[in-house]
Chain A
Amino acid sequence: MSQPTKSAPPRSRREKMLTTGLIVVGIVLILFFGFRAVRSFLRIQFTGLEPGATDVELIRGWMTVPYIATAYGVPEEYIFEQIGVPQEGNQEKALRRLNFDYFEGEPEAILKAVQGAITRYKAEHPPPSEVEND
Chain B
Amino acid sequence: MTDFDLTEFFLTGMLTYGPPALGLALLIGALGLPVPGTLFVLAAGAFVRQGVIDLASTAGLGWLGAVLGDSASYAIGYFAKGWVQRRFGQSAAWQKAQDTFERRGGIAIYLTRFLITPLAVPTNLIAGGSGYSFWKFLIYDLAGEFTWILLYGGLGYAFGSQWEAINQFISDFSGVLVGIVALGAGIYFLVRRRRQNQLEEPTM
Q: Contact partner of A37 among B172, B189, B190, CB < 8 A?
A: B172
Greatest chain B CB density within 10 A among A33, A34, A66, A92 is at A33
Residue numbers in A under 8 Å from B16 (CB-CB): 64, 92
Contact B176–A20 (Cβ < 8 Å): no
Q: What does the 1/0 interface line of B177-190 toward A look like (CB < 8 Å)?
A: 01111111111011
Contact A49–B165 (Cβ < 8 Å): yes
**How would you classify the secondary structure of chain B's contact residues: helix, strand, loop or mixed?**
helix
Greatest chain A CB density within 10 A among B7, B51, B173, B174 is at B173
Residue in B closest to A38 when the chains form the complex, CB atoms:
B172
Residue numbers in A under 8 Å from B12 (CB-CB): 62-64, 94
Q: What does the 1/0 interface line of A15-33 toward B look like (CB < 8 Å)?
A: 1101111111111111111
Residue in B closest to A25 when the chains form the complex, CB atoms:
B182
- Chain A residues 47-84 with CB under 8 Å of chain B are 47, 49-55, 58, 60-64, 66-67, 70-71
Contact A36–B2 (Cβ < 8 Å): no
Contact A97–B15 (Cβ < 8 Å): no
Query: Does A119 lie at the interface of the complex (its beta carbon under 8 Å from any beta carbon of B)?
Result: no
Residue numbers in A under 8 Å from B158 (CB-CB): 51
Number of B residues, CB within 8 Å of A: 42
Q: Contact partner of B178 among A15, A29, A40, CB < 8 A?
A: A29
Residue numbers in B under 8 Å from A94 (CB-CB): 8, 12
Number of A residues, CB within 8 Å of B: 51
Residue numbers in A under 8 Å from B175 (CB-CB): 29, 32-33, 36-37
Contact A22/B183 with A51-B162, A54-B161 known, Cβ cut-off 8 Å: yes
Residue numbers in A under 8 Å from B176 (CB-CB): 29-30, 33-34, 37
Residue numbers in B under 8 Å from A22 (CB-CB): 182-183, 185-186, 189
Residue in A closest to B181 when the chains form the complex, CB atoms:
A26
Complexed CA–CA distance, A96 and B7 (Å): 13
Residue numbers in B under 8 Å from A123 (CB-CB): none
Complexed CA–CA distance, A70 and B158 (Å): 18
Contact B193–A40 (Cβ < 8 Å): no
Q: What 7 A-B pairs are tightest by C-beta distance, nearest first?
A: A26-B183, A29-B179, A33-B175, A22-B186, A51-B160, A23-B186, A26-B182
What is B's interface to A at a CB cutoff of 8 Å?
1-2, 5, 7-9, 11-12, 15-16, 49-52, 158-162, 164-166, 168-169, 172-176, 178-187, 189-190, 193
